[in-house]
Amino acid sequence: MPARNLLTLEGTSRADLREVLDLARDYASGTVDRPLAGKIVCLAFFEASTRTAVSFELAARRAGADVISLSERGSSIQKGEGLIDTIVTLDSLGADAIVLRHPAAGAARLAALHTEAAVINAGDGRGQHPTQALLDLHALSGHLGGFDELEGRKVAVVGDVVHSRVARSIIPAFRAAGMELAIVAPQTLLPLDAGAWGLPVLPSVDDAVDWGADVLYALRLQKERMTGGSPRVPSVPEYARFYGVARRHLAGGAVVMHPGPVNRGVEVAGDVVLDASSLIPDQVASGVAVRSAVLALSMDVARSRVAA
């Protein structure tokens, strides 16, 4: 059975999403015992990460895998070794899955060409971040009472879309789950080809609330990707006024989501981040079971040890 990579959610289907989320629910409820026992999972993180790195590690360990962690510092990448040689080395050492975070879009796809191991994209530059979108769907369907409850819900994706791999994964995934989407962003934070999504673009979070958003999905202002000198937003307080989610936006029952890390008071008001209307802690908590499910599916051992 060839490895099943998870590189992108472009082209994903409702059935694919349901398969991962159903399995994640089983894993979260503890009915599957150590499906990854005997498997070697390599975590190769060449860009900063807290939530994704920690939850992948927990996900792999809880599911029984042997885990190797590699970062730029302390590895031969520091000596100039390239991505492909690093991947080939991990392959030779017997990795069954390689979880890769990398600053270059396309890095995971490139890696997958050079290994028999399953490659899981844990974020590649402005490319994709598929497990983030999957855990978001897990958190949201948990909040709403099931996967079928996602159908027809309205989600406003707010903020720095142009630099966001999260946006590039949640847009196809949320659509495949049957949700209706809109974007809330200034022109300077939209990709040139944003029109290809065919989504309405709204001028402020207030307008998203008027549109009937059930979910306000805020994206981080990714200053580390704003290269070239000219600022993308004239001032951060002004940005926060039009694109920041505040308590008043949640009064009608909408919930706020954010992949983290949050710039408190910019994308989401400080007093709202951990509020009852915030799914941000649920998103983080969903990461472990969802990533165990993704790893197990990628190595085709998902239900090999389902308890009787």
- Contacts with ligand NCD by CB under 6 A lie at 51-52, 123, 129, 132, 165-166, 220, 222, 259-260
CB of 49 to ligand NCD, least distance (A): 6
CB of 94 to ligand NCD, least distance (A): 27
**Which among 58, 1, 34 is positioned nearest to 304, based on CA atoms?**
34
Dihedral (C-alpha) 273, 277, 279, 280: value to the nearest 10 degrees?
0
CB of 125 to ligand NCD, least distance (A): 9
Q: Please tell me the distance from the alpha carbon of residue 185 to that of residue 204, in angstroms, as a whole number.
A: 7
Contact 246, 267 (CB under 8 A): no
Contact 226, 188 (CB under 8 A): no
Residue entry with tokens 């308590």: 247
Q: Please tell me the distance from the alpha carbon of residue 159 to that of residue 182, in angstroms, as a whole number.
A: 11
Output 12 or 169, the one with its CB closest to ligand NCD: 169
Q: Please tell me the distance from the alpha carbon of residue 19 to that of residue 182, in angstroms, as a whole number.
A: 26
CB of 89 to ligand NCD, least distance (A): 25
CB of 217 to ligand NCD, least distance (A): 12
Output 172 or 259, the one with its CB closest to ligand NCD: 259
Output 200 or 260, the one with its CB closest to ligand NCD: 260
Output 182 or 280, the one with its CB closest to ligand NCD: 280
Residue nearest to ligand NCD (CB): 220
Output 64 or 127, the one with its CB closest to ligand NCD: 127
